[in-house]
Structure 1
């Protein structure tokens, strides 16, 4: 029982990262119809922001804040320079643009910093652990769960209580009508990208704190899993993105912990097979968007 509870904590920690990344993808998609495959590079940019800040002597907490800010700035720059001019384009054009942006950033990371992982030295206490009963629980997974809960709570408040959040929800329902009512479209879209960048930055903080390094491909696989989570939850559904993230994280951790050694190499295939099985039963996802392709 203790082992199961310990693995569930690990699942919530990993699922929280996937949930925040999936939510960032879903927010942008729900408003402008863009599946941003460069979202992982925003996460990576935040990780490099942390690394460079600590190289220049900033204390760890300040470096984490700079990493968050770097991710938001990258998301806004991406929207302004690459995606704003493509607004209203077809899905294929938007996909090609996002892939192109992603590849450009990876080349810049590889040639401008390093193609190999660079270490980040966090305080030793951050990688420690503590005992509860028979369980050994890491400080980093616990912090990850708490940060995820606070982040999702704050985002819920923004979307439901603040004017810009309500404008974003209205844009997700009918973007053209929102513009006819006089709301500035650029402001709403920029806010969506800023929030997605902030969520990617938070994921970068948690990911780098657990790994202790950053590399040009750091954000690729987490965002790939987050995209799977977004589809599983219901493409364009914000609640579905969060649920999908936790489901994918839980499946990944539990299969890693309890699969027999002979099946361990097939872990990802088993997780994806489970996702496909769910989509066969619920092709629109676990919590599908209330309207067509977006919610």
Structure 2
């Protein structure tokens, strides 16, 4: 049962990486740029939800929706101010700008909310009322136990995996069936041809940033619910690992983001359990290097021939 516990934990962590990786893979697939500030949007979403619940006593669902709304606006603003003027700039200029936006968001969070760690509330709980005869006290359950307590699954884990599945299905439907989704696919193939066909490329890219940033807010809440310490650098390492997951699965591919995230989460948890906690990150990146040596485009990525 111990291995099964590790397996479920790996799938849960991988689901968070997959949700974050969607932001990277969608933006790269359409705008052909790497938004390294995406990890810090996770942190902003977590802070917004935290203060909405703890300081303003809003219901958790309202806090999550507020975080999604404000992060969506933040994503659009960042795209318009920082990235839109660099549409035709060299990729190095865009990369440096993305790093600058990342540090700006981290330092803004440091000024606004200080560096002291915040303990994120776990609102994925079930309260059991006391028995009518008074033989039992009120208890708060954080998960379920199976096989006589040998297998423990937290409610955060269940919600995280279910949320990942729902988001992936919704995005697959959105990109395949809606007008905006088809416009995104067209821009991903050839922005010039898409513009000639009457597609507003700028609006499509802005919508991509909006969707990715809204998903980042969800990922931030799920991440801090599972690992409850919240600081201004909370999104840095998960952002890097989610980018790794996107490359692992094939950047630009939505199924690739899911596969890469799940595999990355499993490798990290199993490496911590059976190899070393300190070496787990090294194992993750070593596996990435091996995969890219065999399949440079990632597991589900497609080789693209450059036109000359």
TM-score, length basis structure 2: 0.89
For the pair 1:120 / 2:120, whether they are aligned, the reply is: yes
What aligned pairs does 1:164-243 form with structure 2 within 5 A after superposition?
164-243=180-259
Q: More helix by proportion, 1 or 2?
A: 1
1:248-288 CA distance string (max 9 Å, x none): 111001111222xxx44222212221221122211221111
1:192-228 CA distance string (max 9 Å, x none): 1111112211101201222234211111111100111
Query: Aligned to 1:286, which of 299, 303, 307?
Result: 299
Structure 2 residue runs of 5 or longer lacking an equivalent are: 127-140
Contact kept? 1:130, 1:138, Cα under 8 Å: yes
Please list every run of at least 4 consecutive aligned residues from structure 1 whose deviation after the TM superposition is greater than 4 angstroms.
none
Cα distance, 1:110–1:170 mapped onto 2, change above 3 Å = same
Q: How many pairs align?
A: 289
Give the greater-gyration-radius structure (CA): 2
What aligned pairs does 1:1-295 form with structure 2 within 5 A after superposition?
2-54=1-53, 55-123=55-123, 125=125, 128-133=142-147, 134-259=150-275, 263-289=276-302, 291-292=304-305
Cα distance, 1:264–1:118 mapped onto 2, change above 3 Å = closer
* Partner Cα distance (2:21, 2:123) in 1: 29
* Partner Cα distance (1:156, 1:3) in 2: 34
Secondary structure at 2:114 match in 1: coil
TM-score, length basis structure 1: 0.93
* Partner Cα distance (1:292, 1:36) in 2: 24
1:29-83 CA distance string (max 9 Å, x none): 1111110000011111111110221212212221111111122111111111111
* Partner Cα distance (1:109, 1:161) in 2: 38
RMSD: 1.6
* Partner Cα distance (1:175, 1:124) in 2: 43
Cα distance, 1:106–1:69 mapped onto 2, change above 3 Å = same
Secondary structure at 1:56 match in 2: coil
Secondary structure at 1:35 match in 2: coil
Comparing 280-289 and 125-134, the one that deviates more: 125-134
Structure 1 residue runs of 5 or longer lacking an equivalent are: none
Contact kept? 1:120, 1:214, Cα under 8 Å: yes
* Partner Cα distance (1:170, 1:103) in 2: 33
Comparing 120-129 and 219-228, the one that deviates more: 120-129
Contact kept? 1:235, 1:289, Cα under 8 Å: no
Cα distance, 1:234–1:292 mapped onto 2, change above 3 Å = farther
